[in-house]
Chain A
Amino acid sequence: MLKKTVSIITAAVITGAAITATVAGARDYVSIVGSSTVYPFATTVAEQFGKSTKFSTPKVESTGSGGGLKLFCSGIGVSHPDITNASRRIKKSEYDKCQANGIKDIIEVKVGYDGIVLANSRKSAPMKLTRKDIFLALARQVPDAESGKLVDNPYKTWKEVNPSLPDIKIEVLGPPPTSGTRDAFAELAMEGGAKTFADMSALCKAKGDEVKPLMTKLGIPESGFNKKGKKVFQHIAHSIREDGAYIEAGENDNLIVQKLEANPKSLGIFGFSFLDQNEDKVQGSEIDGHMPTFEGISDGSYPVSRPLFFYVKKDHVSVIPGIKGYLAEFTSDKAWGEEGYLADKGMIPMPIEERAKFAADVKKLTPLVLQ
């Protein structure tokens, strides 16, 4: 008896599933993937759009910038996402993959900026850092003070890095290598710090034959050679020390905030929106003389900030209901403007001219061209 009913239900479900699967040819909601940094902003826009129109609320997945672009570029059609968010610009290789898979026209929309902050607990004194300090404190290999050759990072306390800093152990909680925040941090803070050394800066610009001598000067083994000096430079600047001074604290930025409270001597690396929401618990460190404030990031004076983007498939705009409306909502002043709700969520808006340019591009659906 029981057996029979169960088998009938099973059969019904399987056939039902098969039918719906074949029927699922159409999709009536916008599918968005991509960066976890853009996720809080994209979801806010999606919700506003869904609630204030008759369209379904777009679905936003948090897959990371790279994962999002991979999904985005895998093809055209309802089973592929319409929009991907990214906390960096699309790479040439990704763009080419898109082209190869028939995604000819991609609309690029820059939405604003995100600042990456180094913060500590309010129980301790605020830190005044430079990018050089950050590089010296966190890189795996740093130029030796005398010989200028790269050596394993010898610094144990901030005072050793820079005599004006307090005599406390270097302890930094930050995201793992898979995170977009970590990429941005390496690119903006660590590279910036590395470039303050003349030889490193030269290496970054060097090409072809110029690379080798610089490498010997810095004491980099032959095996790390690359024609482009920039690659060699990045490899060094992006390598973060693994001797315990830098602690990978997982992707969850809330967790880092909690850990800073528990250990007031440590610093944490996370996105500006988490600082914005937790100002009563943690304080941002000054970097190169600029505080991580809304204004500082917006006008570009705070050095560790990055632009945020999303990319749209033009061919989907006319097929999937709601894309146009979502784009209009995102690029409206009430969303991404200075007083807009995204600013409340911690996104730093672009200057008005930049906003106008991108809003116009979106309106005309001007596709992106990478040489």
Chain B
Amino acid sequence: MNNQKPMDIVQAGLAKRYKKEKRFKLIGLSAIIFSLMFLVFLFSSIFLNGYKAFYQAELRIDVFFDPALLDIKDPASANFDALVKKSLRTTFPDVKKRKEKKKLYGLVSTDGSFQLRDMVLADPALVGQNRSVWLLADDDVDMLMKGYIDRNLPQSDRRISDVQIGWIDKLIDAGRVKFRFNIGFFTNGDSREPESAGILGAAMGSFYMLAITLVLSFPIGIGAAIYLEEFAAKNRITDIIEVNINNLAAVPSIVFGLLGLAVFLNFFHLPRSAPLVGGLVLFLMTLPTIIITGRVALQSVPPSIREAALGVGASKMQAVLHHVLPLAMPGMLTGAIIGMARALGESAPLLMIGMVAFIVDIPAGITDPATALPVQIYLWADSPERAFVERTSAAIMVLLTFLVLMNGTAVYLRSKFERRW
């Protein structure tokens, strides 16, 4: 045709080819940067909203453990509320009016009386003594201290009045206000008082549920995957089963909640709000995912390994258990952890089985009433008290931490299994 050498034609087209490649790289890179930006935005907004929840204002009040108020024989049932109020009155002796007194009492959390009770129960010798005690501040005081309440607004427009701010300033000047690390957030159950609300109850609920989910869905899911992949005859019936499993994996989670309600609560009469039922529901929900990822993991094991085992006379079962399964395990674990992570973040199906509930006591077993972390987040997000806003973000941080830990475990387990060559 023309007298160009092939190399010249190649050269001519080269610039265009590189340009194409560059453009593709650029698109990929910008997609990643874009999503990373969202992630950073999301995480930083959660963090900025929530980090203040990890510390908490406290007030130092002088308490005289008045024997007149505290019955020595039965201190548990004594009126500690009155003790808190009396101590506040002695700290601010010039507060006389009834309305003002009520405002004064509002500075200390309603949890303050339980704090004093626990002190006396731990050390009955306190009765009759004078002590300076750090008590939890009310959530409104906490919000003021953290700068969420604007002092410059007219008094009628904020939840904390001018006199109260005056008292707080006095306390601050006297060194009677401090922030401390909010241990209660990690050791308490839910509470209507934001200052004493914690996530341990919900975390334990999630833990019990996930334990049940994992213990049931992993062996059953892996077993089913092995059977379907290695042993079942490939025919119409297995095709139908496979289609159904794929469909189940895509069923909205609320449907599993309805199923749980019908089967576990109404038919088997298992207790409402129990992690046992939650775990069973989430087990049904994650099972298809685990079966599917399990099968993919088995498929990805090179057939040469199977042949090698069969070639020396291993039975099919031995070939699978001794050689294929260990190689498929990392993939299966990843699938299981992804399933677990999804289960951890699930709240819709739990609504149906009564786990969207206010539960203060920390569950001690799989049949105790419990909620889960995402449910706790949902409940707090819906609470009117301003201080729950930061706690919601803090709880999200905790949930994200758990997810990161789970994924970290997955990566660790994978590398551990893979190191066995």
Taking Cβ atoms with an 8 Å cutoff, the residues of A that contact B are 3, 6-7, 9-10, 13-14, 16-17, 20-21, 24, 27, 29, 31, 33, 36, 39-40, 42-44, 46-48, 50-52, 54, 56-57, 59-63, 79, 81, 122, 251-254, 271, 273-274, 276-280, 339, 341, 344-346
Contacts and interface: CB of A to CB of B under 8 A. Distances in A.
Contacts of B379: 62
Interface in B106-148: 106, 110, 114
A32 B369 CA distance: 12
B219 A346 contact: no
B2 to A, nearest CB: 66
B151 to A, nearest CB: 11
A254 B191 contact: no
Contacts of A251: 382
B157 A122 contact: yes
A46 B369 CA distance: 14
Interface in B137-175: 149-150, 153, 156-159
Contacts of A40: 192, 383-384
Contact of A277 (B153, B215, B385): B385
B268 interface: yes
Nearest to A334: B81
Contact of B153 (A31, A43, A52, A280): A280
Given A44-B192, A254-B382, A24 B270 contact: yes
A43 B358 contact: yes
Nearest to A17: B276
Nearest to A36: B382
B216 A27 contact: no
Contacts of B384: 40, 253-254, 271, 273-274, 276-278, 345-346
Nearest to A41: B192
A280 B149 contact: yes
B219 A31 contact: no
B268 A13 contact: no
A339 B367 CA distance: 38
A39 to B, nearest CB: 7
Contacts of A279: 156-159
Given A62-B357, A279-B159, A20 B381 contact: no
A155 B386 CA distance: 36
B382 A57 contact: no
A31 B361 contact: no
Given A13-B215, A43-B192, A60-B358, A252 B153 contact: no
Contacts of A254: 381-384, 389
Interface string B345-361: 00000000010111111
B114 A51 contact: yes
19 contacts: A6-B219, A7-B219, A13-B215, A17-B366, A21-B268, A36-B382, A40-B384, A46-B358, A46-B360, A47-B358, A56-B361, A59-B358, A62-B379, A273-B384, A276-B159, A279-B159, A280-B150, A339-B102, A345-B192
A29 B220 CA distance: 34
Tell which of A3, A14, A36, A52 has the most Cβ of chain B within 10 Å.
A52
A127 to B, nearest CB: 17
B365 interface: yes
A127 B381 CA distance: 28
Contact of B357 (A6, A17, A59): A59
Tell which of A33, A251, A280 has the most Cβ of chain B within 10 Å.
A280
Contacts of B271: 21, 24, 27, 79
A58 to B, nearest CB: 8
A363 B192 CA distance: 26
Contacts of A62: 356-358, 379
Interface string B382-418: 1111100100000000000000000000000000000
A27 B382 CA distance: 29
Interface residues of B, number: 51
B272 interface: yes
B84 to A, nearest CB: 13
B203 interface: no
A79 B110 contact: no
Interface of B: 76, 102, 106, 110, 114, 149-150, 153, 156-159, 189, 191-193, 212, 215-216, 218-220, 265, 268-274, 276, 321, 354, 356-361, 365-367, 369, 379, 381-386, 389
A25 to B, nearest CB: 10
Contacts of A7: 219
A47 B356 contact: no
Tell which of B149, B192, B356 has the most Cβ of chain A within 10 Å.
B192
A254 B356 CA distance: 18
Contacts of B276: 17, 20-21
Nearest to A281: B157
B354 A57 contact: no
Contact of A20 (B265, B273, B358, B366): B366
B219 A50 contact: no
A280 B369 contact: no
B346 to A, nearest CB: 17
Contacts of B159: 276-277, 279-280
Given A47-B191, A280-B153, A59 B270 contact: no
A57 B359 contact: yes
B216 A13 contact: yes
A6 B332 CA distance: 14
B114 A280 contact: no
Contacts of B215: 6, 9-10, 13
Nearest to A78: B271
A79 B102 CA distance: 42
A112 B253 CA distance: 37
A196 B406 CA distance: 61
Tell which of B265, B360, B367 has the most Cβ of chain A within 10 Å.
B360
Contacts of A54: 76
A24 B386 contact: no
Contacts of B157: 122, 279-280
Contacts of B274: 24
A277 B321 CA distance: 61
A313 to B, nearest CB: 15
Nearest to A12: B215
A57 B366 contact: no
Given A24-B271, A274-B384, A276-B384, 14 more contacts: A10-B216, A20-B366, A21-B268, A57-B361, A59-B369, A60-B358, A60-B359, A61-B354, A62-B379, A254-B381, A273-B384, A277-B385, A277-B386, A345-B384
